[in-house]
């Protein structure tokens, strides 16, 4: 079959394999890598553009996602991230040096195993530039598969070994940031038929605190009003509520059965607005007094792909998208308070994505001098990541928004990861048999040790030593080992992009360190 067809055959089979659950663990996107390795072994070859295109798409989307909070997070935790990166890369470097001596492995082959175990393409390129020896690529190909799969498995095992549930830790992490748990929100209507809530206000009933759902409208006869704390519910009223499936089920038990009817009467509008005002950003909703000031209520907040129901304690951040309900006049006034509403530059998000990729490739070609080592470049990983972070942080130019929608970023990120794993897997599948025949399985053993032991060191230092919370720790060890596929697996396992922020913050430290370490291992 053609290369184009083979890419999508690999993706289809790989995602089917990756979706198989064994002992509560899944390979996820790394299933694509396994299938690609086999295709490479039987002789398939893909143009390098497939791997490189997937890499830059994935890493730029990560940067755009994390950009809005990256620099704030970096300022708060820069020292911690630097310590974790040094711990991981230094322990991996020393381990590689010791093991190559103990098992009499050629220097270039051991260096390739080091870069493959850390899944570092910039490290591989740096080592090849210094040594100009093909054994570096062979070692990379041998260690890379377990470098990916081992870290993905470790990402799923570490919570179990620590007695943690990753999704519960994510919920706690968001709670600490005054966010509700990420979920798919639904909208339904209900009829009030419970006598115990007849003639009580919404504040007295406490619907939000008891169910997690937000009641946005109340209909009595043909009259529809916005739902406020002092709105009185009567038997026979209809309400529209927003919330998760579980929250709406609780609401149904509390007030009455779900019904189907129109709640889009005249006088009320719904708008999605972006927080652009520094006065609003950083403030709690309860302090903004939105209804008293503007006559509107908020039913949901969307933040970098995360959608949640707000509470009075929710703190708004710059570039949050809020869904507001009110009259046209009130919404116009509220919109002015949020700042200039910018339109997406391009209708789909492809324009800012393409801009970030173009700028990132340019940045990746710039040589950075390092005393005693020479010069290094950020490459196709560091350059696009930096560009994505910068554009995600800036967010807008004049009336135009440069931040693509969260759903678009999620979809394009997964597509890029698939291309990257397919291209890298096929490329790494070629040199397995000859090299393994000569040196045996000890090469895989060395790669496995370099993959696993530094991650465990980094985890202990970050979580136990530096007291980073569990979510930040998991993102850190992915970034500290420069593992793009592990980040993809972590995002899938966690069900949120939250983990991309610590990954993006520690990645630059780790990438520079692994490039230096690769050159040192290949030289001495």
Q: Could you write out the DSSP letters of every residue in 320-383?
A: -EEEEEE-HHHHHHHHHHH---PEESSSSSHHHHHHHHHHHHHHHTSEEEETTTEEEE-HHHHH
Closest CA to 52 of 368, 334, 332, 420: 420
Sheet holding 258-259, edge to edge: 223-226, 214-220, 238-243, 186-191, 258-259
Q: Is the pLDDT of residue 262 over 50?
A: yes
Q: Is the pLDDT of residue 421 over 90?
A: no
Q: Is the pLDDT of residue 75 over 70?
A: no
Task: Look at residue 482 in the predicted model and tell me its pLDDT.
Answer: 76
Confidence of residue 30 (pLDDT cuts 50, 70, 90): low
What is the pLDDT averaged over residues 23-35? Answer: 70
Task: Look at residue 358 in the predicted model and tell me its pLDDT.
Answer: 94
Q: What does the CA dihedral 12, 17, 18, 20 come to, rounded to 10 degrees?
A: 130
Closest CA to 304 of 494, 70, 65: 65
CA 67 to chain CA centroid, Å, is: 11
Please provide the CATH number assigned to the domain covering 180-342. 3.30.70.1450
What is the pLDDT averaged over residues 473-482? Answer: 84
What is the pLDDT averaged over residues 33-56? Answer: 86
Task: Look at residue 41 in the predicted model and tell me its pLDDT.
Answer: 81
Task: Look at residue 496 in the predicted model and tell me its pLDDT.
Answer: 65
Min mean pLDDT across 332-336, 370-374, 375-379 is at 370-374
Kindly report the length of the chain: 524
Confidence of residue 183 (pLDDT cuts 50, 70, 90): very low
Give dist(CA 421, CA 151) in Å, integer. Answer: 15
Q: Is the pLDDT of residue 491 over 80?
A: no
Q: Is the pLDDT of residue 459 over 80?
A: yes
Please, is 343 exposed, middle or buried when counting C-beta atoms within 10 Å of its C-beta (0-12, 13-18, 19+)? exposed
Q: Is the pLDDT of residue 310 over 60?
A: yes
Q: Is the pLDDT of residue 144 over 60?
A: yes
Give dist(CA 111, CA 512) in Å, integer. Answer: 16
Rg (alpha carbons) of the chain, rounded to whole number: 26
What is the pLDDT averaged over residues 167-193? Answer: 63
Please, is 149 exposed, middle or buried when counting C-beta atoms within 10 Å of its C-beta (0-12, 13-18, 19+)? buried
Tell me the sheet residues that pair with 396: 401
Residue 7's H or E segment, with its range, is helix 3-18
Q: Is the pLDDT of residue 26 over 70?
A: no
Give dist(CA 22, CA 32) in Å, integer. Answer: 17
Task: Look at residue 8 in the predicted model and tell me its pLDDT.
Answer: 95
Q: Is the pLDDT of residue 302 over 80?
A: no
Task: Look at residue 178 in the predicted model and tell me its pLDDT.
Answer: 38
Closest CA to 405 of 270, 214, 272, 241: 272
What is the pLDDT averaged over residues 197-224? Answer: 83
Query: In the chain, pLDDT over 70 holds for what percent of residues?
Result: 81
Q: Is the pLDDT of residue 407 over 50?
A: yes
Min mean pLDDT across 46-60, 112-126, 305-319 is at 305-319
Min mean pLDDT across 192-196, 231-235, 384-388 is at 384-388
Q: Please give the residue that has the higher pLDDT: either 182 or 351.
A: 351
Beta-carbon contacts of 143 under 8 Å, excluding residues fewer than 6 positions away, are 112, 113, 114, 115, 116, 117, 443, 444, 446, 447, 450, 451
Task: Look at residue 48 in the predicted model and tell me its pLDDT.
Answer: 86
Q: Is the pLDDT of residue 257 over 80?
A: yes
Min mean pLDDT across 89-103, 121-135, 470-484 is at 121-135
Q: Is the pLDDT of residue 471 over 50?
A: yes
Q: Please give the residue that has the higher pLDDT: either 127 or 86.
A: 86
Closest CA to 417 of 122, 62, 160: 62
Task: Look at residue 80 in the predicted model and tell me its pLDDT.
Answer: 81
Q: Name the token pair of 491.
A: 């995002």
What is the pLDDT averaged over residues 170-188? Answer: 54
Q: What number of other Cβ atoms are within 10 A of residue 75's Cβ? A: 9
Q: Is the pLDDT of residue 511 over 80?
A: no
What is the pLDDT averaged over residues 465-477? Answer: 83
Confidence of residue 180 (pLDDT cuts 50, 70, 90): very low
DSSP 96-161: HHHHHHHTT--HHHHHHHHHHHTT-HHHHHHHHHHH--THHHHHHHHHHHHHHHHHHHHHHHHHHH
Place of tokens 């697996």: 489
Q: Is residue 454 within 8 Å of residue 88, measured between CB atoms?
A: yes
Q: Please give the residue that has the higher pLDDT: either 184 or 289.
A: 289
Q: What is the greatest pairwise CA distance in the chain? A: 85
Task: Look at residue 304 in the predicted model and tell me its pLDDT.
Answer: 54
Beta-carbon contacts of 394 under 8 Å, excluding residues fewer than 6 positions away, are 67, 402
Task: Look at residue 16 in the predicted model and tell me its pLDDT.
Answer: 92
Is residue 465 classed as helix, strand or coil in its secondary structure? helix
Closest CA to 113 of 449, 476, 481, 487: 449
**H helices present in 162-217, as ranges:** 166-176, 202-205, 207-211
Task: Look at residue 237 in the predicted model and tell me its pLDDT.
Answer: 92
Tell me the sheet residues that pair with 307: 302
Q: Is the pLDDT of residue 520 over 80?
A: yes
pTM: 0.59
Task: Look at residue 7 in the predicted model and tell me its pLDDT.
Answer: 94
Q: Is the pLDDT of residue 246 over 50?
A: yes
- Give residue limits of the domains in the chain: 3-175+347-523, 180-342
Average pLDDT, the chain: 79
Confidence of residue 273 (pLDDT cuts 50, 70, 90): confident
Task: Look at residue 137 in the predicted model and tell me its pLDDT.
Answer: 72
Confidence of residue 76 (pLDDT cuts 50, 70, 90): low
């Amino acid at each position: 079959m053609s290369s184009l067809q083979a890419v999508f055959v690999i993706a289809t089979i790989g995602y089917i394999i990756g979706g198989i659950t064994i002992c509560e663990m899944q390979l996820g996107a790394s299933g694509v890598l396994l299938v690609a390795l086999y295709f490479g072994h039987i002789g398939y070859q893909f143009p390098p553009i497939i791997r490189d295109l997937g890499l830059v798409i994935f890493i730029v989307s990560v940067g755009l996602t994390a950009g809005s909070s990256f620099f704030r997070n970096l300022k708060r935790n820069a020292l911690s991230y630097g310590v974790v990166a040094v711990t991981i890369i230094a322990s991996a470097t020393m381990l590689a040096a010791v093991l190559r001596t103990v098992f009499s492995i050629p220097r270039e082959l051991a260096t390739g195993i080091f870069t493959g175990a850390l899944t570092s393409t910039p490290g591989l390129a740096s080592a090849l530039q210094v040594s100009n020896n093909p054994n570096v690529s062979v070692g990379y190909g041998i260690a890379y598969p377990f470098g990916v799969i081992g870290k993905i498995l470790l990402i799923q095992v570490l919570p179990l070994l620590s007695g943690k549930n990753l999704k519960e830790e994510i919920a706690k992490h968001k709670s600490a940031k005054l966010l509700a748990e990420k979920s798919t929100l639904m909208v339904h209507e209900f009829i009030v038929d419970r006598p115990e809530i007849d003639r009580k206000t919404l504040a007295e009933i406490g619907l939000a605190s008891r169910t997690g759902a937000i009641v946005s409208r109340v209909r009595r006869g043909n009259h529809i009003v916005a739902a406020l704390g002092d709105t009185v519910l009567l038997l026979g009223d209809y309400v529209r509520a927003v919330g998760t499936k579980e929250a709406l089920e609780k609401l149904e038990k509390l007030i009455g059965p779900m019904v189907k009817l129109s709640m889009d009467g005249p006088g009320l509008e719904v708008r999605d607005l972006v927080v652009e005002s520094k006065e609003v950003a950083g403030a709690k909703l309860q302090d903004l007094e939105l209804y008293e000031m503007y006559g509107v209520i908020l039913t949901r907040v969307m933040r970098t792909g995360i959608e949640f129901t707000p509470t009075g304690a929710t703190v708004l951040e710059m570039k949050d998208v809020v869904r507001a309900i009110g009259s046209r006049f009130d919404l116009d006034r509220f919109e002015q308070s949020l700042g200039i509403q910018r339109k997406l530059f391009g209708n789909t998000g492809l324009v800012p994505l393409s801009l970030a990729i173009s700028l990132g490739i340019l940045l990746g070609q710039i040589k950075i001098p390092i005393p005693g080592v020479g010069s290094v470049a950020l490459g196709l990983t560091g350059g696009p990541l930096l560009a994505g972070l910068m554009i995600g942080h800036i967010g807008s130019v004049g009336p135009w928004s440069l931040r693509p929608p969260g759903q678009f970023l999620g979809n394009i990120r997964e597509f890029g990861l698939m291309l990257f794993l397919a291209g890298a897997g096929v490329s790494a599948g070629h040199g397995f048999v000859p090299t393994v025949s000569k040196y045996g399985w000890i090469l895989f053993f060395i790669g496995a040790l370099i993959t696993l032991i530094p991650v465990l060191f980094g985890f202990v230092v970050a979580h136990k030593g530096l007291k980073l919370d569990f979510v930040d720790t998991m993102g850190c060890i992915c970034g500290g080992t420069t593992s793009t596929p592990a980040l993809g697996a972590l995002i899938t396992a966690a069900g949120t992009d939250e983990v991309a922020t610590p990954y993006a913050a520690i990645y630059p430290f780790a990438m520079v360190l692994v490039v230096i370490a690769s050159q040192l291992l290949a030289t001495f």
